[in-house]
Structure formats: C-alpha cells, structure tokens
Amino acid sequence: MTTNSIVSQLIVDKSKCESIGTHLPSFDRNQLKHGIVHLSVGNFHRSHLAYYMDVLASEHQQTEWGIVGIGVRSFDKPMSIVMNEQNGLYTLVTKGTDENDVNVRIIGSLINYIYAPDEPESALAVLVHPDTKIVSMTITESGYDLDMNNVDIQHDISNSDKLRTVFGFIVHALDARRRANRKPFTVMSCDNVQQNGEVTKKCILQFAKSLNNTELIEYIETQVTFPNAMVDRITPATTDADREYVRSHCGIADGWPVTTESFIQWVIEDSFCNGRPPLELLSTTPYNVLLTEHVEAYECMKMRLLNASHTSMCYIGHLMGYSYIHEIMLDKQIEIYIEQLMNIEITPTLPPVPGIDLDNYKRTLIERFSNPHIKDTALRVCMDGASKFPKFLVPTIVEQLKRGISPHFCALSVAAWIRYLSGFDEENKPIILQDALATELKLSELATQIKPGAKQILNINQIFGVLAEYQHFTEAVERVVHLLYEIGSKKTLQQWINEAPTKK
C-alpha cells in the first residue's frame, strides 16, 4: 500500500484535517529501512525519538532511520493491536501554553510493531537484521533495577529463544550478530537515568556475564557503544478525551494518539558504533538536539530541576486533592515551594551547564508545568517513586548534607511521598500505589506506622543511601510526616514555607 492510502484510512473528515494544517508523511514509507529498533514503545517514545525520525524522513529525505517497535511486557498488548491496525501511524498533537498554539502531525516513522510475547522469534530476528543500527529503549527508571533472580531474567539466561526481557533480547541479539560476524548495534537508553548509557552497559554486561561467554563479553566491551543522553518532553498518557479531540477537532480516527507539550530537547553523546541519523540537522529550535561529548551536566540539570520538582509537587499536590499538574501549579503555595526547592536547594548543587541560562530554564519549567492544555495527571508522575527518588532527589540531599546544610524543602518532598505510601488520602480514600519496588520492599506497611515507619523507610539503603545517618534531616522528615497526618497537607505546606530558614 502507498503511504497516502494508508494515511487516508485514518482520516474521517478530510476538510477538518486540512483546515487545521495537519502535517502528513511526505515520504514513501515503503522505502524506509528499520535503522532503529525500539524496545518498549510508549507515549514518550512516540512524542520524542519517533517524532525526530519522522522529521528527518519528511523534511530531510532520510530513509535509513525508520523504526520497528517491540512491545516486551504484557501491558504492551493493547498498543500493539492498535499500532498494527493503523500500520504504525498515529497522531501527535502538540499543545503550547497558548490555547491557539496547537500543531497536529501524523507520524509515519514507526513502520512496524512486534508484540514479543506472541512473536519472540520475529523480535529477535529484527534485532539481528543487518539494517538495525541502533536499539533504543524506554523502560522507565525502575527498569534498570536489574534483579538477576527474577524468573524471566533466569529464563532468558537459560534460553536463547522465546525471550521475555529487554536485556535478554539485547544480549542474545548481540551474540547472534557476533557469531554472524556482523557489526553490533548501538544501545541507546532514552530514560531519565543519570548516565543512562553507562547504567545500561552495566546491566547488559551483568546479564552477559551470567552466560559465561568470554567472547561475547569482549565483543560488548570493545565494540558496542552506549551513549549517555538527556531526553525531555512532558508527555501524558492517552485518554478517551484525547481520542475524541483528535476525531472531532482534527478529523482523524486514531485509537492511540499522543498529546504532548511544544517543548522538546535531546542532548546525546556522539558515540555510535554503527552509524547514526544526521542529528545535526535538528540542532536548531524547535528541535533542540545537541550532540556532545559531555552530557552529564545536562542530565544533572534536567533530572534535579525538572524531574525532582515534578515528582515533589505531585505527591503533595495529590494529597491536597489535585488531579492535574496544571491545577497543582495554580496553587500559589505549591508554586512558592517548588521555586524555593529549585532556587535554594537544587541549583547550588548543579555543575556549570554550557549554553544554559539556569534562571531562564527554571522559569520555563514553571511555564511548562502550568500548561493547562496537555492534561498531565499527578498520578502518572507519582508512579515508581521508590525508583525515582534515588535518581532525582537523593543526590541533591546528599550534596547539601555534606556541605553541612539540611535541605528544608527536600525534607517536605520525602515526607509527602512517605505519607502517600500509606495508601489512603486525607479523605481516607484509597491511593492505588503503582510502584513495583515499593511493593517489593513493603513500604506501605512501614508508612502506616507514621514516625517509626518514616525512620525505617529512610534507613533503606537501596533508596536513600546514607541519609539516615544525618539525624537533623531524619528528624525533619519525621516531623513533616507527623504534621501531614495531624493538620493535613495544605496547612503543613503553609507552615513549612513559613519556617524555611532562608527565602530567595
């Protein structure tokens, strides 16, 4: 089928689609090679990497970098059905802070989608195929907490077929390429993890060493590259309201559209072992791609300012009864809290970031968080807190404590999460905890013990490292937890702002 005929199947009202200026794929999808295979396709991937590759194909006639998506987990099944029904096409709706700043684009860079639990052989084959130059992934922060005793990991160690895990697929595919005397692919993490390339390499080697294959280990260590990267674009989960908007306003019948903000950024090490897309073509606004040898400062800035603030506001905001992030930011006390957290406690811990005005960056973050049009939920950001805190907030806390400063607002962030872990909000309604590590560590049971529970949670080295050794900080967290139960989140927030040792 031609690209036009496939696209036309999504369009139910051509006049609406044309009137809003919808961008359609201008390239022949039949000519796209699958230069990239992406493991665990979600909305962020479809608003970020897949969007970038679509721009390269449409605006720059690059045909080497089509994407094959692979769904690895059981909950990837619904998306796999929709993506296959739509031949990989989907609608990307970009909404700025101005209600008239809307851009609609049908993305054509995702040329195939394989649901690995049903087709493990096909998934492995596309990874081994010589056209595959890059294997990218979005497996969330918790996906890098590799448990070698996990039953699926153990299965993939013992079996090279019918694989079940991301790391099993990558390592066995690399081994197959090695045995076939093929170049390896670059392994590219697109997750919010500091030095995500190095962390991915560590996981890959840990899995590979369990196979007792010295030639494979040498192949990975000497020939495979793992570029570090900072990725950024706030992208909520798809809702029925998004589907209805795309149909009624855009004239497109899309079972899984993506709504996202207008801001996008990608800073990545120029370290690719088997070729890469011409990313330098995307270096200007609005694409904001930067190829560099020094990603760490950008990663640090983004995770400590954006991700830590995002996480912090959502726990206290949810406790205060807010559902959406833009609603949270309308609360003046929360805005003060987040600004104080960023300015007083996080910014002093950041290294210099080349080309970045931090004051302007922070102002932009507040504007992005306040965007009322993308309808991002607090619950989405509240997921996987036990995996997020060690990466987003704990480094700031540790650095401040080493300087002899007990970070006041960071204590509130940690305490709000512990209160959230109790499983009940302030109206005694249940909170559905979506956090695999917290469940494994039985944190909810500890959180309900209030003061002793807070101390025990802070003693969990896997999450908080050595923080429990700092008595002043531990006592501050315990006190905030007590206040949250005693007087509620709104009054606690107000009191904690009033008690701040310094204001800026």
* Whether residue 265 is found in the same domain as residue 323: no
Tell how strand 36-39 and strand 265-269 pair up: unpaired
What DSSP state is assigned to residue 135? E
Query: What CATH number corresponds to the domain at position 334?
Result: 1.10.1040.10
Q: How many CA atoms are closer than 13 Å to the CA of 64, on its beta-carbon side?
A: 11
Beta-bridge partner residues of 90 = 107
Q: How far apart are CA 411 and CA 394, in angstroms?
A: 10
* Whether residue 284 is found in the same domain as residue 342: no
Q: How far apart are CA 134 and CA 143, in angstroms?
A: 19
Q: Is residue 504 part of a domain?
A: no
* Whether residue 36 is found in the same domain as residue 131: yes
pLDDT for the residue numbered 504: 44
* Whether residue 261 is found in the same domain as residue 315: no
* Whether residue 316 is found in the same domain as residue 284: no
Q: How far apart are CA 470 and CA 405, in angstroms?
A: 10
Residues 6+ apart with CB under 8 A from 461: none
Single residue among 292, 310, 336 that ends a domain in this structure: 292
Question: What is the distance between the terminal CA atoms of the chain, rounded to a whole angstrom?
Answer: 61
pLDDT for the residue numbered 1: 82
The CA-atom distances, in angstroms, between 10 and each of 16, 94, 105, 364 are: 13, 18, 12, 35
Q: How far apart are CA 251 and CA 249, in angstroms?
A: 6
Q: Do residues 481 and 489 make contact, with C-beta atoms less than 8 angstroms apart?
A: no
Q: How far apart are CA 143 and CA 158, in angstroms?
A: 21
* Whether residue 323 is found in the same domain as residue 213: no
Single residue among 292, 310, 342 that ends a domain in this structure: 292
* Whether residue 339 is found in the same domain as residue 269: no
* Whether residue 166 is found in the same domain as residue 232: yes
Q: How far apart are CA 370 and CA 41, in angstroms?
A: 27
pLDDT for the residue numbered 449: 86
- Residue 336, burial from CB neighbour count under 10 angstroms (0-12, 13-18, 19+): middle
Per-residue confidence in pLDDT tens, the chain, 504 aa: 888 999 999 999 999 999 999 999 999 999 999 999 999 999 999 999 999 999 999 999 999 999 999 999 999 999 999 999 999 999 999 999 999 999 999 999 999 999 999 999 999 999 999 999 999 999 999 999 999 999 999 999 999 989 999 999 999 999 999 999 999 999 999 999 999 999 999 999 999 999 999 999 999 999 999 999 999 999 999 999 999 999 999 999 999 999 999 999 999 999 999 999 999 999 999 999 999 998 999 999 999 999 999 999 999 999 999 999 999 999 999 999 999 999 999 999 999 999 999 999 999 999 999 999 999 999 999 999 999 999 999 999 999 999 999 999 999 999 999 999 999 999 999 999 999 999 999 999 999 887 678 889 999 999 999 999 999 999 999 999 999 999 999 999 999 999 998 644
pLDDT for the residue numbered 502: 63
Tell how strand 258-261 and strand 90-95 pair up: parallel
Q: Is residue 263 part of a domain?
A: yes
As for how many domains the chain has, the answer is: 2
- Residue 345, burial from CB neighbour count under 10 angstroms (0-12, 13-18, 19+): buried
* Whether residue 309 is found in the same domain as residue 216: no
* Whether residue 23 is found in the same domain as residue 160: yes
Q: How far apart are CA 433 and CA 198, in angstroms?
A: 30
Beta-bridge partner residues of 92 = 105, 258
Counts for the chain of helices (H) and strands (E), in that order: 26, 11
Single residue among 253, 272, 292 that ends a domain in this structure: 292
* DSSP assignment string, 180-226: TTPPPPEEEE-SS-TTHHHHHHHHHHHHHHTTT-HHHHHHHHHH---
Q: Is residue 342 part of a domain?
A: yes
* Whether residue 244 is found in the same domain as residue 349: no
Q: How far apart are CA 237 and CA 215, in angstroms?
A: 42
How many beta carbons lie within 10 A of that of residue 234, not counting itself?
A: 21
Give the structural domain span for 52.
3-292
Q: 195-200: long-range contacts (C-beta < 8 A, 24 or more apart)?
A: 195/228, 195/295, 195/296, 195/299, 196/144, 196/228, 196/229, 196/299, 197/225, 197/226, 197/227, 197/228, 197/229, 197/269, 197/271, 198/226, 198/228, 199/144, 200/137, 200/144, 200/226
Q: How far apart are CA 81 and CA 96, in angstroms?
A: 30
Q: Is residue 411 part of a domain?
A: yes
* Whether residue 381 is found in the same domain as residue 454: yes
Q: How many CA atoms are closer than 13 Å to the CA of 486, on its beta-carbon side?
A: 11
Q: Do residues 404 and 348 make contact, with C-beta atoms less than 8 angstroms apart?
A: no
Q: pLDDT digit string (tens) for 404-419? A: 999 999 999 999 999 9
The two tokens of residue 459 are 């003693």
Q: How far apart are CA 322 and CA 319, in angstroms?
A: 7
Q: How many CA atoms are closer than 13 Å to the CA of 165, on its beta-carbon side?
A: 24
Residue 379 Cα to chain centre, angstroms: 14
Nearest Cα to Cα of residue 453 among 406, 417, 425, 426: 417
Query: What CATH number corresponds to the domain at position 47?
Result: 3.40.50.720
